[in-house]
Structure 1
C-alpha cells in the first residue's frame, strides 16, 4: 500500500497545485494531510476548498488553530500585517478548521504482527511541539511508547527527515517529518511531500520494514512571492519563500 502524506501548505496555492499534480501522477492508495493549511499567504480558501473537494483526511495544525481566536473583518476594512492571512478565510472554512482532529491512527495487521502508524502535526503531546532530527533519542522513544506508535509522522518544523530508532525491546521505530509543501525551511524552495510504502512483509523487526520516499516538486516560486508582495501581508513572507528559510 502506498500512502501520500503532506503538511504545512500555508495557503501557498501555486506550490500546492504543483504538489497535487505530481502526487496524482503517483496514484497513491491513500492521502493524508498533517495540517497548517493556512497562514503566510493569500490563498487559504482555495487550498481548503481543494482539500475538502478531494475528501483528504486532515489534521489541525497550529496555524489552523489560530482561527479560533481571530475574528474575520469585513473585506472593506483590510488590516495589513501578519494576521491578514487569517482574516481572508471564509466562515465556512473557518468552521471546517475548528473541527479538524489532533491525531490520526492507522493499525495494520501484517503476517500476524501489529504495525501502528500515528499522524500528528507537532507531536502527539502538543500541536506546536517540534520533533526534530536531533531531538533526544530517549525522549522520542518515550513519545512513541506513550502513543503506541511504530511509525510517527509529523510536520510543523518544515524540515524533512526519516529517523530510525531501536527500542529497548529490539523493535525498530520510525519518525518521519514530512517537510513543507508551501514554506520549506531547509534551503530548498521546492515543495516536499512523502510517499510511504507499506509492504506485504513490513515489520518492526527490520530497520527497512517500510519505504519512505521524499519527493520535491518545483513550482513558480517567484510568482508566488510576487502575489504576497502585492497583498497586505509582510514582504518578509515573500523573501522566506525565495530563501526557503
Structure 2
C-alpha cells in the first residue's frame, strides 16, 4: 500500500499545484495532509478549497489554529503585515480550519503484521512542538508509547527526515518529518512530500524495512516570491522561499 503524506503548504499555490501533479502521477492509495494550509502567502482559499474538493483527511496546524484568534473585517484587508495572510481567508474556509482535528491514528494490517501510525502536526502532545532529527530518543519513544504507535509522522519544522529508533525489546520505531510543500527550511528550494509504502515485505523487527520516499518538487519559486512582493505581506516572506531557510 502506498500512502502520500504532506504538510506545511502555507498558501503557496504554485508549490501546491506542482506537488499535486507529482502526487497524482504516483497514484497513491491514500493521502493525508498534516496541516498549516495557510500563512505566509496569498492563496489560502485556493489551497483549502482544493484540499476540500479532493476530500483529503487533514490535521490542524498551528497556523490554521491561529485563524481562530484573528477577526477579519473589510478594514483589515487594507492592513500590511504578516496577519494579512489570515485576513484573506473566507468565513466558510475559516470554519473548515476550526473543525480540523489535531491527531489522526491509523492502523494497517498485512498478514500477521500491524503497523500503527500516529499523525500530528507538531507532536502528539502539542500542535507547535518541534520533533527534530536529534530530539531526545527517550522522549520520542514516550510519545510513540502514549500514542500506541509504531510510526510517528509529523511536520512543523519544515525539515524532512526519517529516523529509526530501536527499543529495548528489539522492535524498531520510526519517526518521519515530511518537510514542507510551500516553505522548505532545509536549504532546498523545492517543495517536499513523502510516500510511505507498507506491505507484507515490511517488518518492525528490521531496521531498514520501512520504505519512505521523499519527493522533491520543482516549481516556479520566483513567480511565487513575486506574488508575495506585490501583496501587503512582508518582503521577508519572499526572501524565505527564495533561500529555502
Whether TM-score is above 0.5 comes out as: yes
Structure 2 stretches lacking a partner, 5+ long:
none
Shift of 1:79: 1.1
Residue 120 of structure 2 is aligned to residue 120 of structure 1:
yes
- What corresponds to 2:244 in structure 1? 244
Cα pair distance change 1:170/1:79, threshold 3 Å: same
- What corresponds to 1:68 in structure 2? 68
Cα pair distance change 1:109/1:84, threshold 3 Å: same
Shift of 1:76: 7.8
Shift of 1:111: 2.4
* 3-state SS of 1:130 partner: coil
Residue 27 of structure 2 is aligned to residue 35 of structure 1:
no
* 3-state SS of 2:78 partner: coil
Q: Whole-Å Cα distance in 1 between the matches of residues 197 and 114 of structure 2?
A: 16
User: Is contact 1:60–1:100 with CA below 8 Å preserved after alignment?
Assistant: yes
- What corresponds to 1:232 in structure 2? 232
TM-score by length of 1: 0.98
1:187-202 correspondence runs (5 A): 187-202=187-202
User: Is contact 2:76–2:87 with CA below 8 Å preserved after alignment?
Assistant: no
TM-score by length of 2: 0.98
User: Is contact 1:199–1:210 with CA below 8 Å preserved after alignment?
Assistant: no
Q: Whole-Å Cα distance in 2 between the matches of residues 140 and 172 of structure 1?
A: 13
* 3-state SS of 2:162 partner: strand
Count of residue correspondences: 245
- What corresponds to 1:50 in structure 2? 50
1:213-224 correspondence runs (5 A): 213-224=213-224
- What corresponds to 2:144 in structure 1? 144
Shift of 1:74: 1.0
- What corresponds to 2:85 in structure 1? 85
What do the CA deviations read for 1:199-237 (whole angstroms, capped 9, x no partner)?
A: 223221111232000000000000000000000000000
What do the CA deviations read for 1:78-120 (whole angstroms, capped 9, x no partner)?
A: 1110100000000000000000011111112222232101110
1:149-188 correspondence runs (5 A): 149-188=149-188
Runs of 4+ aligned structure 1 residues displaced above 6 Å come to: none
Structure 1 stretches lacking a partner, 5+ long:
none
* 3-state SS of 1:129 partner: coil
User: Is contact 1:4–1:23 with CA below 8 Å preserved after alignment?
Assistant: yes
What is the RMSD computed on CA atoms of the aligned residues? 1.0
Residue 87 of structure 2 is aligned to residue 97 of structure 1:
no
